[in-house]
Amino acid sequence: MKTQFEYYEEIKRTFPRTMSKDQFYQVAHISKATALYLLQSGLVPCKDSGKKTRRYTIKTTDVIAYLQDRILYPAKYAAPDGWYIGRSNGKVRHQQAGVNRVLYFTPEQRTLLQDYFREEMSDLEDLITVKEFAEFLGYNPNSVVRWCNKLTLKCFNVSGKYLIPKVCAIEFLATDTSLGVRRKSHRHQLFLSDFMNRNGIAR
């Protein structure tokens, strides 16, 4: 299973010196609007050329420093109220996104949702820990443990610790249990909002 150190080393190999804004948001698993806030606010240092395309250049070492610091101080990197309104592919701030409620998707839409999360989780190993899944989805690990205990999220119990097959995590994210969470995390809402925008699904 890939450790954080191994993941950082992989980033260094892929981007030896710098990366673009689009590469940054993909590596950090954040939205384009969040990446823009982090760069424009100076929370993640960058070189701004002022051009319309390929405007931002970010040092790989600064991206890794951000990823490490975000684990300890996630609130430090939260965008202010109103930042997401009207920004980046129609994404809006989570209170306005219309996804913090029970969602009902057709079987075809659920298949598309699994494909979406399969792509978003491509950097994760085939077996993931509770902590890794919680960080990916933006929930407290206790929520993930609760899903495991209720058997709604399929997993293995190894020496008292849960290991979740990635394929089972992807299936879970398209189930009634996941879509029926009424107080979804900010990150979960952004994923769903992005998915619905991409596929033209009305809220």
- Select from 12, 21, 201 the least CA-distant residue to 116: 201
Residue 93 or residue 182, greater confidence: 182
Question: What integer pLDDT is reported at residue 183 of this predicted model?
Answer: 84
As a whole number of angstroms, the distance between CA 35 and CA 23 comes to 10
Residue 53 or residue 169, greater confidence: 169
User: Which secondary-structure segment (H or E) carries 59?
Assistant: strand 56-59
Question: What integer pLDDT is reported at residue 85 of this predicted model?
Answer: 61
As a whole number of angstroms, the distance between CA 66 and CA 43 comes to 8
- Select from 110, 141, 132, 120 the least CA-distant residue to 31: 120
- 112, 194 in Cβ contact below 8 A? no
Question: What integer pLDDT is reported at residue 87 of this predicted model?
Answer: 58
- Each residue of 88-103: pLDDT tens digit? 444 444 444 446 667 8
Provide the mean pLDDT of the chain.
Answer: 86
* pLDDT score of 39 more than 50: yes
CA distances from 35 to 52, 109, 176 (A): 16, 28, 31
Residue 169, Cβ neighbours under 10 Å: how many?
25
User: Which secondary-structure segment (H or E) carries 57?
Assistant: strand 56-59
Greatest mean pLDDT among 28-32, 113-117, 157-161: 113-117
- 87, 194 in Cβ contact below 8 A? no
Average pLDDT of span 153-165: 93
- Each residue of 58-113: pLDDT tens digit? 999 999 999 998 888 887 888 775 676 655 444 444 444 446 667 888 999 999 99
- 147, 177 in Cβ contact below 8 A? yes
